[in-house]
Amino acid sequence: MMRLLTAAVLLSLAAPAAAQSPPICMPIDELQAALKKHNEAPILRALIDSGNVLLIFASPDGSGWTAVVVAPTGVACVGAMGVALKMMSKGA
């Protein structure tokens, strides 16, 4: 499940740069505080092969979610965000 979710998020981050807005980057503490104001809390943490960390934040009801990549320096960048997050059962 974790590998599938990580792969799905990473694929969404690989969209052509021309189609994306400039990344939103800031220290992880600041980004976490901003997401808390939107009622989003971390629900998943995964180590990426590059040494960065993937964090998924979501609201309790899944109405909003944000994928964040955190560098070892503590700088976090929003990779994707959306609505209607639904957790799947293991092995699905």
Prediction pTM value: 0.75
Q: Which two tokens stand for residue 88?
A: 């799947």
| Bridging pattern class, strands 65-70 and 24-27 | unpaired
Q: Tens digit of pLDDT per residue, the chain (92 long)?
A: 444 444 444 444 444 444 567 889 999 999 999 999 999 999 999 999 999 999 999 999 999 999 999 999 999 999 999 999 998 887 75
Q: What stretch of H or E contains 44?
A: strand 41-47
